[in-house]
A and B are shown apart, each in its own frame.
Chain A
Amino acid sequence: MVPEAAGAAGTTAGTASGTTEDAALALGDDALVLSHRLAEWAGHAPALEEEVALANLALDLLGQARTLLTMVGDEDRLAFCRQERAFRNVQLVEQPNGDFAHTIARQLYFSTYQELLWEQLAAGDGPFAPLAAKAGPETAYHRDHAVTWTLRLGDGTRLSRERMQRAVDALWRYTGELTRPVAGLAGVDWAALAAGWAERVGATLRAATLTVPEAPARAVWSAGGGRQGIHTEPFGRLLAEMQHLHRSHPGARW
């Protein structure tokens, strides 16, 4: 019942194709949705220590989401009252946890993207510079964690390598969307970001003895559309769980 696009009202500084609010919503939704996915691991991680690590990442991301959504409006209203079609997160972050390898591959792809994005935004003087400066070190740790596990699973046993490769391949089609320009996000060199992403992820996968999937040819279908509010099927269920209580008791204080 909110806003067909919570950002539509804003008219502050932005690129021709969008406002700062549009960009904050996109980046905030990325962090919010991935945070929710990581939180689903609570009580189910392969080891107690890893559980703490995943929860830590989830909390960092939730913190980023709160800052970003607050730039747009009321964070709770934005998180709990929007319908699927109003969310602007990339499709990668809404993908189910799958096995541990899938979670790690998703984390590797996303944290590498986020790290590069924060680097660029922190260097500029745009509205996201303060957040980027704060989130940068957090995200560097997220990537370090993902790299650590990618190496161990890829270069581990035959089974762990198989599973890691499967995850890397399965999620690859969602990575193209990461390096497409975000509406309203000025001052980002997307070509450099894409090149940096391919280099860092490629180096990690090769070090882990894994095969780097080939970039989808132009003719081949690849996923994307999250930024336009078009999401994959598991996302609806994620929202149903996340928003259930708020929708049952709308307007309650907690």
Chain B
Amino acid sequence: MPGGTDWPLWEVFVRPRRGLAHTHAGSLHAPDAELALRNARDLYTRRGEGVSIWVVPATEILASSPEERDPFFAPAADKPYRHPTFYEVPEGVRSL
């Protein structure tokens, strides 16, 4: 398909009708944002009503690099003082 590869890559995030957050659904090629949105609708929502779509040029996304994983994400399991577990929840407090 000539020309198809000239189009930049877009990442698609979709919020399902009953969903609370946008989830990464996949990617696609499109010449601009408007067409990316329409293509995303065709490809990832099957036109289910009431969904919300975000499209983002893939080049706009900065990803953490695998090499930096340790310093970046090293779990704080050995640092218990980081976890809010040292106080008692008073009775009657809701939504905690």
Contact = CB atoms under 8 A, between A and B. Distances in A.
Partners in one complex: yes
Interface of A: 45-50, 52-53, 56, 141, 144-145, 148, 152
27 contacts: A45-B1, A46-B1, A46-B2, A46-B3, A46-B4, A47-B3, A47-B4, A47-B7, A47-B29, A48-B4, A48-B29, A49-B28, A49-B29, A49-B42, A49-B43, A50-B39, A52-B42, A52-B43, A53-B38, A53-B39, A56-B42, A141-B47, A144-B38, A148-B35, A148-B38, A152-B31, A152-B35
Interface string B1-19: 1111001000000000000
Interface string B30-48: 1110110011001100010
A154 B30 CA distance: 18
- Give the secondary structure class of A's interface: helix
Contacts of B42: 49, 52-53, 56
Nearest to A46: B3
Contacts of B39: 49-50, 52-53
Interface residues of B, number: 17
The residue among A45, A48, A52, A145 with the most chain B CB atoms within 10 A of its own CB is A48
Nearest to B49: A137
B49 to A, nearest CB: 9
A148 B34 CA distance: 8
Nearest to B2: A46
Contacts of A50: 39
Nearest to B3: A46
Contacts of B4: 46-48
Interface in B79-96: none
A142 to B, nearest CB: 11
Contacts of B34: 148
Contacts of B47: 141
Question: Which A-B residue pairs are the 5 nearest by beta carbons?
Answer: A47-B4, A49-B39, A52-B42, A53-B42, A56-B42
Nearest to B4: A47
Contact of B30 (A45, A49, A144): A49
Contacts of B2: 46
A68 B42 CA distance: 25
A145 B3 contact: no
A188 B3 CA distance: 43
Nearest to A144: B38
Contacts of B29: 47-49
Contacts of A152: 31-32, 35
The residue among B4, B28, B34 with the most chain A CB atoms within 10 A of its own CB is B4
Nearest to B40: A49
Given A46-B2, A46-B3, A49-B28, 7 more contacts: A46-B1, A47-B4, A49-B29, A49-B39, A53-B39, A148-B34, A152-B35
Contacts of A148: 34-35, 38
A47 B4 CA distance: 5
Contacts of B3: 46-47
